[in-house]
Amino acid sequence: MSGASQRPGAQWPLDEVVAGLRAARQDWRERHRQHEPRGRELPSPEALDEIIQGLRGALFPLRLGPPSLRPEAEDYYIGHTLDTQLQALRQQILLELGSSAGADPAVPGLAERADEITAAFALALPDVRRLLDADVLASFDGDPAARSVDEVLLCYPGIAAMIHHRLAHRLYALGVPMLARIVAELAHSRTGIDIHPGAQIGAGLFIDHGTGVVIGETAVIGQRVRIYQAVTLGARSFPTDEQGQIRKGAPRHPVVEDDVVIYAGATILGRITLGRGSVIGGNVWLTRSIPPGSHISQANSQSQAPGEV
Amino acid sequence: MSGASQRPGAQWPLDEVVAGLRAARQDWRERHRQHEPRGRELPSPEALDEIIQGLRGALFPLRLGPPSLRPEAEDYYIGHTLDTQLQALRQQILLELGSSAGADPAVPGLAERADEITAAFALALPDVRRLLDADVLASFDGDPAARSVDEVLLCYPGIAAMIHHRLAHRLYALGVPMLARIVAELAHSRTGIDIHPGAQIGAGLFIDHGTGVVIGETAVIGQRVRIYQAVTLGARSFPTDEQGQIRKGAPRHPVVEDDVVIYAGATILGRITLGRGSVIGGNVWLTRSIPPGSHISQANSQSQAPGEV
Amino acid sequence: MSGASQRPGAQWPLDEVVAGLRAARQDWRERHRQHEPRGRELPSPEALDEIIQGLRGALFPLRLGPPSLRPEAEDYYIGHTLDTQLQALRQQILLELGSSAGADPAVPGLAERADEITAAFALALPDVRRLLDADVLASFDGDPAARSVDEVLLCYPGIAAMIHHRLAHRLYALGVPMLARIVAELAHSRTGIDIHPGAQIGAGLFIDHGTGVVIGETAVIGQRVRIYQAVTLGARSFPTDEQGQIRKGAPRHPVVEDDVVIYAGATILGRITLGRGSVIGGNVWLTRSIPPGSHISQANSQSQAPGEV
Amino acid sequence: MSGASQRPGAQWPLDEVVAGLRAARQDWRERHRQHEPRGRELPSPEALDEIIQGLRGALFPLRLGPPSLRPEAEDYYIGHTLDTQLQALRQQILLELGSSAGADPAVPGLAERADEITAAFALALPDVRRLLDADVLASFDGDPAARSVDEVLLCYPGIAAMIHHRLAHRLYALGVPMLARIVAELAHSRTGIDIHPGAQIGAGLFIDHGTGVVIGETAVIGQRVRIYQAVTLGARSFPTDEQGQIRKGAPRHPVVEDDVVIYAGATILGRITLGRGSVIGGNVWLTRSIPPGSHISQANSQSQAPGEV
Amino acid sequence: MSGASQRPGAQWPLDEVVAGLRAARQDWRERHRQHEPRGRELPSPEALDEIIQGLRGALFPLRLGPPSLRPEAEDYYIGHTLDTQLQALRQQILLELGSSAGADPAVPGLAERADEITAAFALALPDVRRLLDADVLASFDGDPAARSVDEVLLCYPGIAAMIHHRLAHRLYALGVPMLARIVAELAHSRTGIDIHPGAQIGAGLFIDHGTGVVIGETAVIGQRVRIYQAVTLGARSFPTDEQGQIRKGAPRHPVVEDDVVIYAGATILGRITLGRGSVIGGNVWLTRSIPPGSHISQANSQSQAPGEV
Amino acid sequence: MSGASQRPGAQWPLDEVVAGLRAARQDWRERHRQHEPRGRELPSPEALDEIIQGLRGALFPLRLGPPSLRPEAEDYYIGHTLDTQLQALRQQILLELGSSAGADPAVPGLAERADEITAAFALALPDVRRLLDADVLASFDGDPAARSVDEVLLCYPGIAAMIHHRLAHRLYALGVPMLARIVAELAHSRTGIDIHPGAQIGAGLFIDHGTGVVIGETAVIGQRVRIYQAVTLGARSFPTDEQGQIRKGAPRHPVVEDDVVIYAGATILGRITLGRGSVIGGNVWLTRSIPPGSHISQANSQSQAPGEV
């Protein structure tokens, strides 16, 4: 800190750098007018991180809430936390609505929509809790190393990812996809698990280890599914599209039915269906549907796979 | 912040949401009494993160300690830091003991056990430092890009993971597995390297890049082993178990002897032994033991592997 | 916190542990004199993290700068931020120069070099901004799910990694490789994308998902390249070197020409060239050059690959 | 920060200073064994400051609570805040009880007393709020410059002092005088108003400006009294006591009846009574009782003092 | 922290206390409807403290600004700081306007007024700086112990009080008296100097020591005046008003002409004039005007007072 | 926060204000070149506050140190704290030396002087502790309300002021008067007690209440003296000096011999001597020496003053 100021000669051409950056911004703005910031402020990942941390506590007060919380005070804590965090969320919703509409967020219509979205999100929280209960139980049952449900909630990256996803998915469904994406990326950064907030996931998903898991926007996952690290549920891409582009909008990620297990490193691509109760082996590369009860390993998956891609 | 309060009409049904969450908790508690929080407080990942940061400094004072530390004051800094962090650790130990026993942590017996565990952990720190010295040297020697031991300690995710693991492993061995798991997940989140605290790892492990590495609970790793990104030392699972469940307790992860090298993406599954000095190529899938000095690449590993799974 | 002090008997042999750690340090210092800290202080990852956060804001003021920034005040904010962060960076540069020279950082020559490096880095910032503009556009164009350039800048891990890389690469080129490495590891930790600061990357790189991507020190990447998760651009290693060591210095990582696409999990090893416009399929293992316009999938890559390794 | 460490020669005899301080402590401990710390930990002014700040918000939620508090969420906020702060207060009570008893705070009896004191304190809070309402109204009515009750609560040092005093007085009455004293000194430091927590003060006290006001331990003040800056309600001291010592225990400070006004700089000493509705002029020195309705100025308070004011 | 939760029985009747406080609030609201919070949010002393700290730096950048500020970057720092702090101030202005109007701060008219007040305040800052320069010089010249102007700016409580006053006075004059009062009380709390923001003070006021100084709302002070600790420039009160009330509105505090000196403890009351160049001795009690050049000591101020001083 | 930016029209003439402030600075610099900042950085009150807080803990570790400090770890804590704080102090000393010399603080001579001053200050700490022990005992003995030495150390503003003074006085004597003054003003702001760091004060001073106490630069105070609130030990000024100026340098404040008591509000002016064991009554105005054992009240100090007290 003091080094620079102790040497009076320490200099760099500040005005020149400021001017150079200004010119770069002007170039961009002239060439890419359609990409100008449409609102005055953008949603804030830092604000959303704090909101999600608060909601985690409100969902699981005695486990993820403040360390000194007494059972007698649970509802007070939850009510105060929700009120604080939902107001903060409403502000972020307003920013996204204003930004995507190119409109001034002070316009009345936006505020009403922000209220409606916030209220709908709030009312969904009890269901989110019930789904997460199922996820926690699935992790506890699925991992012989788990010693208690408390440990699962505190430690398991798969659970951290699912808490984020189940909240992000509600935001996505309610029409604030940028907030949803920010929440999903918070989990991705912390766990290495990248679940698009559009993915529909049934109760009781267990993701073990998790680093490198990618689940795409239109994936549909049933109940009690188990997924290990580095599994991709992706879109099938370059065979059918000469520019290597994913077609937008249409369902393009796998449907995984109830009770399927997918071992580490498996790559499942395209709008295919993995039938109920199937087991997909490690590193399998799969681009075709399989009937219920299938057991797929590298041998039988690859015989059909690589050559045709 | 002010947006919400500026519009008096901004509302969501707070009481209804609080009631909904209460009902969801009650449902859980009625159905899953065995999963109730057993103690009043759980260990805290945030507290353990701070403890580990403090211990890092005490282990490597002039490199990871405070920036202004003078050599004359090293022991004062170490003594003060240890006293502070060991007290904080003892409190976390007490929380786990109380939580796992379902007992009140104020009960005298727990406090004595917490003291014993803390003292044993403290006395192990010099050995932890010596093991980490070997890991640091191994990273320096193993990576031609490493310019100094300082750079290795400051930057390498593999070293960050090993500092956490060697401390977590002591906690695991001393009977506080939940603390151990929390410490391991702190490293997992930061580095993408997921080492179960039960894994036994000899001196001088070098993990390069590291993202996606998974090392299981009963893995045994010798001295001077090198492991690259996305390597799994896992349990062999679905061939022998029709529910796809890992059998608990028994040794089920690989034994890796001294001086083995395992390249990126290799998957080594089951209680097999990789003989001393073997080299496992990238993306190899291996589920059988190999003698000392073996060189395994995709070609010879896969010919035996996929079909039989 | 209070538990320990409430029990007067809570004790561990503090002096013994301090002495044990002192002995371990002395052993190290006697055996490894060449690895002694060469300067008095090392660069600080925490300080560099703050510097990079500040520079992000100065590069994209209305998107990554302070939430309340008004367009009228852009240049004031940028000028003040740059002055603050460049001074802090100069201090870190001084620490690396002092550390690597084994010299006292107060020596005049080091200060002059630190000034020169800081000024050159500052003057490069407008170009960095223009390159990042191209990266952002590439991500926006390459991902059909991207709704706005704002979303790309705020959320996409690939963009976060490229902001770090383009700054780290300048530091690397200017002769402070340890700072560059620290900056690269900050991105690696947050995104799972591990780009060595030495890698030369053209405008418009799009990295999707990103977890597990590794790009080596001498890799050369052209313009408008697309890379998916878990792709490795690595050095070819154990076939030609009986100790399994990477040879240092010489170009040893791939050259990827303009407009190449590399799908998830592909492993590209050695100083080979991927010709302009080629497409590399998922999980492909490739160790030979391919001509422009090639389409490589597992089938045709693997027939030549595994056996020969 | 870096200056010291940049010069390797920067030194002071650290061990010698540590030894000198140890010797000074040992001297003290040998000579003054009765003044040894009686408990292991002392109450913390910082902790009490935070507790009082929290209680201020719970007492006046929409004025001194969090800026975004909505009326619908008042009770949740209050309940959560009280639970948190009362637990923190209980911990401080335990420390004082343990300290004053020379006992281990883990002894059961102390914990029960701490619970009782905390509960009694909590139940007194509604009365404290009603008394403070009267104080606020008195300030609003008494100061023609006051524009709103909000301004009085936010700005007036006299109100800040009374919030602290009314809470401190309860602690004093409940048997934790050290906590009470700490709370009183927090107000003294911030406002220059020094009210001993033992003083009994009726509803509606208005202290204007306040700097230099001193109110002693056994003072008794009626309702609707007004006091200006630098007023002392002290003990009469040196005339009757040749050592200049205040006699302990017995009532020794003034009794001020309802509706008395005491102007700036007046000094009222000894267990005298100022009769209801009296007015004491600025700088008056008074050591004798006066009947109700008296008007005392410098002239008539002291036979030789100026009478023209 | 943990003490409470370690004893499961630790309880206080939380619901009862919450209900008691609710009843107390309802009583207040029923009886004192005119004192209800008129807006939804009140200005925040904490926010204003931060604003004033920021403006101090912008006024005296190389002395009270950030420690590492370089002269080349002064204007960038000032521009950025002003923009940030003036936006924060505008928000506080909006809160006072909304609060005092009983109106919704989102109403357009309020926002325009807030803009006007903010702009007028901003444009006055250069004059504030020039007045403060004179105050600083006066303190330097008036105190033989002052070693440099830097020391005066950093240390002297009188200067701290004048920085606050000159900013508060502008706010007062621009129609936001509550903000002005909050700023004045921030200085009062820190310095013991209580200057009402309405007081008109000429250039070059020197306040030495300062504790206990009180300067009233309608006081008028000329240039180059010197005031010592515990001086009161107050309203004359109880002689002419049988309720002891100050009459509101009319000028009621002293006029102090240029070059007057007032020594410690003097009390000057009422709308009297102290003629140019007069000297008022310590502890003098004065309630009548005096001609220019007067020297007043205790003896001649009060016929009976001591004349030997 | 968001209000301003939500209204695009919110504006103030930022460039104009920046220019106005620049002009004001230029005017000052042209007219007052001798008052230009002489060094590049000034000492920091915030830094000194932190240093003093640290030293308080090192002086009284079990009372003012960290709450969880165990006796076994006292010396580690002290050694580490001293090393940290003395380095920080050395940096502040360097800033004052550089500033007062107008020299570059990197000049070698200044660094050596900073080392010498730091070392001398450090070696004086054990004596400071012994003097403060006497002050604490004097407060405990002198105040019948004091319940323990712990309470005195934690709560009494007189002790807070003396800790600051005894440290500030060493800095003053060692040639860094600006640091000394900053430390003194930190205490003044917090306690209302204004002791010039030059004052020489013997062991066992007891200051009760303290608000408004002023002790001048050349005052000399013996052992076991007691002083109450609003006492001034000042310079005699205007009788002998027609400009009302204090003569610089020469002893001009009182000498107070051992065991003197000075009650509240007394004003003692000029280089007079209060003989050993004298008692000065409240509000006394004294400008002449008095022999040992004198008892002075308002009556006999001033021929016309009240004699009945």
Highest mean predicted confidence (pLDDT) among A290-299, C102-111, F253-262: F253-262
Give the best residue of B1, B22, B25, B183 to mutate against chain A (max A CB count within 10 A).
B25
User: Is residue B300 predicted with pLDDT exceeding 60?
Assistant: no
pLDDT of residue C36: 62
Q: Which of A278-287, B300-309, D134-143, D241-250 has the lowest mean pLDDT?
A: B300-309
In terms of CA atoms, which chain C residue is nearest residue F108?
C106
The predicted pLDDT at position E6 comes to 40
| pLDDT greater than 60 at residue D262 | yes
CA of E130 to nearest chain D CA: how many angstroms apart? 29
Q: What is the band of D32 on the pLDDT scale with cuts at 50, 70, 90?
A: confident
Give the per-residue pLDDT at A243: 55
Q: A7 vs C151: CB contact, 8 Å cut-off?
A: no
C241 C-beta neighbours (distance < 10 Å), count? 12
Question: C-alpha angle B114/B116/B118, rounded to 5°?
Answer: 65
E303 touches chain B (CB under 8 A): no
pLDDT of E200 > 90? The answer is yes
Confidence of residue F243 (pLDDT cuts 50, 70, 90): low
**pLDDT surpasses 80 at B102:** no
pLDDT digits (tens, 9 = 90+) for F171-219: 999 999 999 999 999 999 999 999 999 999 999 999 999 999 999 999 9
**pLDDT tens, position by position, B180-229:** 999 999 999 999 999 999 999 999 999 999 999 999 999 999 999 999 99
Is D68 an 8 Å CB contact of chain C? no
* pLDDT at residue D116 greater than cutoff 70: yes
CA D76 to chain centre: 29
Q: What is the pLDDT of residues E242-280, one digit of tens each?
A: 555 555 568 999 999 999 999 999 999 999 999 999 999
**According to the model, what pLDDT value does residue A216 have?**
95
What is the rounded CA–CA span in Å between residue E182 and residue E202? Answer: 22
pLDDT at residue A3 is higher than 90: no
The residue of chain A with its CA nearest to that of B283 is A283
Which pLDDT score is estimated for A180? Answer: 97
pLDDT of residue A106: 58
| Amino acid B29: pLDDT | 87
Strand order in the sheet with D226-227: D206-207, D226-227, D261-262, D279-280, D295-296
The predicted structure's pLDDT at residue E303: 34
Provide the Cα torsion D128, D129, D134, D138; round to 10°.
100
Contact C73 F106 (CB under 8 A): no
DSSP conformation class of C71: G
Q: Tokens for B80?
A: 């003060």
Q: Which residue has the higher pLDDT, C3 or D116?
A: D116
Between these two residues, F120 and E101, which has the higher pLDDT value?
Answer: F120
Of the candidate ranges A230-239, D228-237, E196-205, the one whose mean pLDDT is the lowest: A230-239
pLDDT at B99: 80
Residue D253 pLDDT more than 60?
Answer: yes
The more confidently predicted of residues D245 and A110 is A110
Residue D238 clears pLDDT 80, i.e. is over it = no
| F226-232 mean pLDDT | 97
Q: Would you state the pLDDT for residue F283?
A: 93
* % of residues, chain D, pLDDT over 90: 72
Task: Check C76 against F5: CB less than 8 A apart.
Answer: no
The half-sphere exposure of E287 on its side-chain side, counting CA atoms within 13 A, is 14
- Measured in whole angstroms, the distance separating CA E248 from the mean position of its chain's CA atoms is 19
Of D5, D8, D40, which is closest to C8 when you measure between CB atoms? Answer: D40
Tell me the three state secondary structure of residue F64. helix
Question: How crowded is the C-beta side of B289, counted as CA atoms within 13 Å?
Answer: 10
Residue E196 scores a pLDDT above 80: yes
Q: How many separate helices (H) and strands (E) can be counted in chain F?
A: 11, 14
Instruction: Report the residue from C25, C45, C178 with minimal CB separation from B147.
Output: C178
Amino acid sitting at position C265: G
User: Can you give the pLDDT at residue C239?
Assistant: 43
The residues with which A101 forms a beta bridge, in sequence order, are none
**pLDDT at residue number E39:** 52
Q: State residue C99's pLDDT score.
A: 80
Contacts of B14 in chain D (CB under 8 A): 72-73, 76
Q: CA of C97: how far to CAs of C39, C93, C100, C105, C199, in Å?
A: 9, 6, 5, 7, 22
Please check the confidence at residue A33 and state whether its pLDDT lies above 80.
Answer: no
Strand segments, DSSP code E, in chain E are 194-195, 200-201, 206-207, 214-215, 220-221, 226-227, 232-234, 255-256, 261-262, 267-269, 273-274, 279-280, 285-286, 295-296
B307: Cβ–Cβ under 8 A, 6 or more apart, which residues? A297, A299
Region A49-58 average pLDDT: 97
Low-confidence ranges of chain C (pLDDT < 50): 1-9, 238-241, 302-309
**Interchain CB contacts (distance < 8 Å): A and D:** 55
Residue F1's pLDDT is 32
Are D130 and E22 in contact, with CB atoms under 8 Å apart? no
Whether the pLDDT of residue A299 is over 70: the answer is no
Strand (E) or helix (H) holding F233:
strand F232-234
**Euclidean distance between CA atoms C201 and F169, whole angstroms:** 61
- The count of residues in chain E is 309
ipTM of predicted complex: 0.89
Using a CB–CB cutoff of 8 Å, tell me whether F18 touches chain E: yes
Q: Which residue has the higher pLDDT, B32 or E97?
A: E97
| CB < 8 Å from B in window 212-271 of A | 212, 226, 229-230, 261, 263-265
- Measured between CB atoms, which of E2, E7, E104 is closest to B41? E2
Question: Which contacts qualify for F110-117: CB closer than 8 Å, 24 or more apart?
Answer: F111/D3, F111/D7, F111/D10, F113/F175, F114/F90, F115/D9, F115/D10, F115/D11, F115/D12, F115/F90, F117/F90, F117/F93, F117/F174, F117/F175, F117/F176
pLDDT tens-digit map of D272-295: 999 999 999 999 999 999 999 999
Where residue D84 falls among pLDDT bands split at 50, 70, 90? Answer: very high
Q: How confident is the model at residue A6 (pLDDT cuts 50, 70, 90)?
A: very low
Inter-chain contact F77–B80, Cβ cutoff 8 Å?
yes
Token pair 């100065």 is found at C58
pLDDT of residue A301: 53
Contact in structure between D282 and E285 (CB atoms under 8 Å): yes
* CA E282/CA E212 separation, integer angstroms: 14
The DSSP symbol for A202 reads -
Q: What is the distance between the alpha carbons of residues A37 and F48, in angstroms, rounded to a whole number? A: 45
- What pLDDT score does B305 carry? 31
Percent of chain E with pLDDT over 90: 72
Q: Give the C-alpha distances (Å, rounded to integers) separating E159 from A294, E156, E209.
A: 82, 5, 10
Using CB atoms, pick whichever of A5, A104, A106 lies closest to residue F41: A5
